[in-house]
Structure 1
Amino acid sequence: MSYIQQSFSVQFEYKVFFTEKIFDTANTDFANFLESRAEKGIRKKLLFIVDDGVTKHHDYLQDQITAYFENIDGFELIQDIIVVPGGEASKNDLQLFYWLVNTLDQHAIDRHSYVVGIGGGSVLDLVGYVAAVSHRGVKHIRIPTTVLSQNDSGVGVKNGINYHGKKNFLGTFAPPAAVFNDATFLATLDERDWRSGMVEAVKVALIKDAGFFDWMESHAGLLTQADPASLQYLIRRCAELHMAHIGGAGDPFESGSSRPLDFGHWSAHKLEQLTDFELRHGEAVSIGIALDSVYSWLTGMLDADSLDRIIKLLKELRLPLYHPLLEIEDDQSAIVAGLEEFREHLGGQLTISLLRAIGKGQEVHSIDLAILRKAVNMLRDKW
């Protein structure tokens, strides 16, 4: 037998910036980043793709972006920003994906260029995927505009769209060139969006940082009022924990079967699909966290006091704990199919994160459906 072998590694590096009024000409954060990427003799293009919910509340954005780029050398702004539907609908529309790829082609966006996504997590997922598959990888910059995207999906390395009703079936691991969290965009979110966005902070605290969970308990009142300082601390700490996991877990592209940052997500992904995405992602994750926390207690992993604290915090943040589509009649029930779909999405054996304690997750490789049904019934009847 004869063969040739090669082995190499690729280092990725990107920064998450925290700023306000990013395209105010007095704010040089974005300009400084671009200037650090400028190359003599190469004029790089920038194409902006923006969530329509953002343009609705910030109708000055087009003019502001145009004015901002008047004094930045080495870059060519594609004058008309591309506006796309926001929310999960943007990830369900294959024709929108193809149209955006064609748009990059029409504007001759090459691998020296940048695609800049501004919007919630769904739009950023779509834009990142479009960039990643065009020319085998156009650089993309993320400007998340929701609590959920600023503290979770927007700072990570995943991109994707839904396919045949399966969440993120098509996608890539492609880190952004940079992320800019602009607090200004949060001021125009409706209550349902900023409230559901906080659940990812609850999730990461439960599996990674008991002290952060304690902080959320003591600041729950301020958080439910969208206190700016409290919300900004929550976003930053959650983003720190997510990025620390991506860089420190040794499996940033999820090549194994472990996915601890998806605590509470196996049922959440299925609930989103079953409700035709009427449930916000954060709302579905809140229900998933409640379900898996009760299951952890029923199996003897988690103590009763910790379970009570988790349920109390979710309720104080006015997040949902139950949905009728959780009901399990038998092993053919719709929500049960979510277990196999979750396993299939990552491959290998089923791996579900549960709780050993607040701040300490533990992975299991099987779920007892009788106990799971009991957990669903408790969520329905007790709280």
Structure 2
Amino acid sequence: MLRNHGGDVVTNIDVPFVVSFTHRLRQTADVGGDDFAVLTDLLETDADQPAKVLLWVDSHLDAATDETDHFAARLNSKMVDCDRVDLAAPMHRIPGGEACKNSDAVLRQLLQLINEHDMDRRSYIVVAGGGAVLDVAGYAAAIAHRGIRLIRLPSTTLAQADSGVGVKNAVNQFGKKNWIGTFAVPWAVINDAAILQSLPDRDFRSGLTEAIKVALLKDPELFRFIRDHADAIQRRDEAICTEVIARSCRLHLDHITLGGDPFESLEARPLDFGHWSAHRLEPMTGYELRHGEAVGIGVALDTLYSARKFGLPHGTAIEVCHTIASIGAPIWCSAIDDVDAVLKGLEEFRQHLGGRLTVTMLRDIGVSINVHEIDVDVMKSCIEELRELSAIAH
């Protein structure tokens, strides 16, 4: 027993410890068809009992007129017929899009389903949907019983290339993105090709801005591949897009699992390159602007700023803006006309991370830096340049 000079017992104890996680990622051609066993192989149970499962799907996935052909119906049918799955309730539809993260009612309903069907910490929630649906479902799974096993089937290019493998689960509050949430490692993520087939062109193309973002941060070769195949991406060439998604997903996964800061406790958050303005633009447009579209605009803007301030070749910045536009994503929206309102995103971004402002910028493709001050006059000038580039692109 330790005592100080006054004879009092000293009780300060610091014990660092490490918690082991496994992040399971699978890539399939059709998990609702021939690759269904990939999903069932992930369902670990005791004593050869079937796994207790709730199936939740994005309403956008369940909107096809042919009930026998669309992804949600096929996956549900497979689960109903599988003796390794104890489907605890009929398939539940979650309203797709950002609105599901703005409503307390959606979260409460999901928690009620977990409670009504006696799900426990060795049960599974399988959720198929876009990033917003994955967020609210993941948050419900993370806080019920302090964690129910979650298997994500991202249904958008955006979620497959980026957020689907993340460890963030969140909902919106106070007009701010992801203000309420938690970090929880999903039990597994399945990136399926067939699930993307019904995705509208607008969402398919703009979702790949996250692949451009991570390529700019970490992989010049991937950026060149996207640049050189931008027209094929716009046409939704399956082979090209599958490769881009797979490479982007792996870069995101490696950053999360090997980067030393999976739960974002440090001041820097490099994977949020371009996001300070993106997160501001979404609520400014009433979420009419897709997240991928907002990210594309934010990446274009911060790339131009990096060229003005940190030595990124200006020609490279123009090339990045052209590439974003060439895959079919916008590099401008009318909300940016309210420049002062957009710039409020810097303070919101600082608050969200905590501590001093830390924004990731580029010295070159694959060479990022963290900065703590933004020259507002230069940023305003970059906004004007982006306006001009957008006019040329369209």
TM class, shorter-length:
over 0.9
- Inter-CA distance 72–375: structure 2 relative to 1 (3 Å threshold): same
Q: What is the correspondence of 1:274-285 to structure 2 with a 5 Å cutoff?
A: 274-285=284-295
Q: What is the correspondence of 1:274-313 to structure 2 with a 5 Å cutoff? A: 274-313=284-323
Q: 1:382 to 1:312 in 2, by over 3 A?
A: closer
Q: 2:344 aligns with which of 320, 327, 337?
A: 337
Residue 28 of structure 1 and its aligned partner are, at CA, apart by: 1.6
Partner of 2:103: 93
Equivalent residue, structure 1, for 2:370: 363
Q: Is 1:241 equivalent to 2:248 in the alignment?
A: no
Deviation of the 1:308 alpha carbon: 2.0
Tell me whether 1:196 sits opposite 2:220 in the alignment. Answer: no
User: How far apart, in 1, do the equivalents of 2:78 and 2:383 lie?
Assistant: 54
Q: Which residue of 2 is the match for residue 51 of structure 1?
A: 58
Residue range with higher mean Cα deviation, 64-73 or 299-308: 64-73
Percent of aligned positions with the same letter in both sequences? Answer: 41
Q: CA deviation at 1:382?
A: 4.0
- 2: CA distance between counterparts of 1:212 and 1:304? 20
Q: 1:31 aligns with which of 37, 40, 49?
A: 40
Name the counterpart of 1:117: 127
Q: 1:107 to 1:25 in 2, by over 3 A?
A: farther
Match of 2:83 in 1: 72
Q: Which residue of 2 aligns with 1:84?
A: 94
Q: How many residues align?
A: 377
Give yes or no for the alignment of 1:21 onto 2:30. yes
Matched ranges for 1:222-241 at <5 A: 222-241=232-251
Return the alpha-carbon distance in structure 2 between the equivalents of residues 310 and 293 of structure 1: 8
CA drift of 1:45 comes to 1.3
2:360 counterpart SS class: strand
Pick which of 214-223 and 196-205 moved more.
Answer: 214-223
CA deviation digits over 1:70-116, x for unaligned, max 9? 3433x411240110110101111111111111111001111110111
What amino acid does structure 1 have at the position aligned with 2:53? L
1:12 has 2:21 as partner: yes
Query: Under a length normalisation based on structure 2, what TM-score does the superposition of the two structures give?
Result: 0.92
| Aligned residues of 1:183 and 1:232 also touching (Cα < 8 A) | yes
Q: Is the CA contact 2:124–2:148 (under 8 Å) kept in the aligned structure 1?
A: yes
AA in 2 matched with 1:343: R
SS class of match (2:265): coil
Q: Structure 1 length normalisation: TM-score? A: 0.94
For the pair 1:154 / 2:164, whether they are aligned, the reply is yes
| SS of residue in 2 equivalent to 1:348 | coil
CA distance in 2, matches of 1:290, 1:379: 8
Tell me what 2:5 maps to: none
Amino acid at match of 2:332: Y
Question: In the TM superposition, what is the alpha-carbon distance from 1:136 to its structure 2 partner?
Answer: 0.8
The verdict on how the C-alpha distance between 1:68 and 1:99 changes in structure 2, with shifts beyond 3 A counting, is: closer
What residue in structure 2 maps to residue 213 of structure 1? 223
Instruction: Answer yes or no: is 1:137 the counterpart of 2:144.
Output: no
RMSD: 1.6
Contact 1:50 1:81 in 2 (8 A): yes
User: Does the C-alpha gap of structure 1 residues 187 and 67 become closer, same or farther in structure 2, counting only changes over 3 Å?
Assistant: closer
Matched residue type, 1:14: H
How many angstroms does 1:63 deviate by? Answer: 5.8
Residue of structure 2 equivalent to 1:180: 190
Amino acid at match of 1:70: D
What amino acid sits opposite 2:67 in the alignment? D
Q: In structure 2, how many angstroms separate the alpha carbons of the residues matched to 1:181 and 1:115?
A: 16
Compute the displacement of 1:148 (Å).
0.5
Question: How far 1:178 moved relative to its partner?
Answer: 0.5
Q: 1:138 to 1:26 in 2, by over 3 A?
A: closer
